[in-house]
Amino acid sequence: EAQVTQNPRYLITVTGKKLTVTCSQNMNHEYMSWYRQDPGLGLRQIYYSMNVEVTDKGDVPEGYKVSRKEKRNFPLILESPSPNQTSLYFCASSLSGAKGNQPQHFGDGTRLSIL
């Protein structure tokens, strides 16, 4: 089954304790992205990756890191989490396309609470 898998689905942690949210896709997609979804603000892009070893900032990258060492994996790292990073996080992937307008497949989300 084609899917984007995120882990963990839920996490409660404390300020300053480094954490990693993993994301894996089995569709051989070149493009991957991380979003956060907050009430009243909608989906906002954190980082994206056009392909292996190619990553770039989205709209709200502060406080986050990513890496793309393999095509299927795109982990999101919070080196020193703070309460304002409490949110619902989604990983997404899509095929690459000449016009860049391919629909994205989303994971089921990771709900992070930073105390």
| In the complex, least distance from residue 19 CB atom to another protein, rounded to whole angstroms | 20
Is the Cβ of residue 58 or residue 63 nearer to another protein in the bound state? 58
Is the Cβ of residue 62 or residue 103 nearer to another protein in the bound state? 103
| In the complex, least distance from residue 82 CB atom to another protein, rounded to whole angstroms | 24
How far is residue 7's CA from residue 61's CA, in Å, rounded to a whole number? Answer: 20
By CB under 8 A, name the binding residues for another protein: 4, 31, 33, 40-45, 48, 50, 56, 58, 90, 92, 94, 96-109
Torsions phi, psi for 59 (to 5 deg): -85, -30
How long a stretch of residues is the chain? 115
| In the complex, least distance from residue 28 CB atom to another protein, rounded to whole angstroms | 16
Is the Cβ of residue 56 or residue 79 nearer to another protein in the bound state? 56
- DSSP-assigned letters across all residues of 5-49: EEE-SEEEE-TT--EEEEEEESS--SEEEEEEEETTTEEEEEEEE
